[in-house]
Amino acid sequence: MALSLNNLHPAPGSTHKKKRIGRGPGSGTGKTAGKGHKGQKSRSGYSSKIGFEGGQMPLQRRLPKRGFTNIFKKQWIEISLAKIEENFNAGDSVTPELLHERGLIKKAKHDLVILGTGELTKSLNISAHRFTKTAKDKIEKAGGNATAIVKAAKADA
């Protein structure tokens, strides 16, 4: 039988009849409409709070608080030499701004560190806040320069 608009139907078992509540005793969900007798949950407008456990001490309050987060922790954006190798040509200058422009890093307030994973065959001038020892060696071995960006110290008020 060919499929056409007049004989389209959902797959067997994929649809269910809507439960009609509060429509008389014959329906099986008449009178109290499947909500039981009295109580907060039977009232209209009832909605429970997230994590509410019926007055019992909620789980998030029963568990102890542990540790702390250091808000002054130094965070780095890492990028490998392999990524730089495939996205730049020989003789290019690589800066954090250029890496962001090409979509290799997200522009963030964190400093950039170059990792030594992968091989570098092109001579590149790379500027970053920090280099791993292997990364610096590989850049210089390929005939490029590894320049560290030094941030100016904040003046005391």
As a whole number of angstroms, the distance between CA 137 and CA 131 comes to: 10
pLDDT score of 109: 78
Domain-wise residue ranges, the chain: 89-148
pLDDT tens digit at each of 157 positions of the chain: 788 999 999 999 999 999 999 999 999 999 999 999 999 889 999 998 999 998 999 999 999 999 999 999 988 999 999 999 999 999 999 999 999 999 999 887 789 999 999 999 999 999 999 999 999 999 999 999 999 998 877 766 5
Q: Residues 131, 136, 141, CA angle at the centre, nearest 5°?
A: 165
pLDDT score of 156: 62
The full 3-state SS of the chain, as one line of letters, equals CCCCHHHCCCCCCCCCCCCCCCCCHHHCCCCCCCCCCCCHHHCCCCCCCCCCCCCCCCHHHHCCCCCCCCCCCCCEEEEEHHHHHHHCCCCCEECHHHHHHCCCCCCCCCEEEEECCCCCCCCCEEEECEECHHHHHHHHHCCCEEEECCCCCCCCC
- Residue pair 146/126 in contact (Cβ under 8 Å)? The answer is yes
CATH class, 89-148 region = alpha beta
As a whole number of angstroms, the distance between CA 101 and CA 97 comes to: 6
- Per-residue pLDDT tens digits for 10-23: 999 999 999 999 99
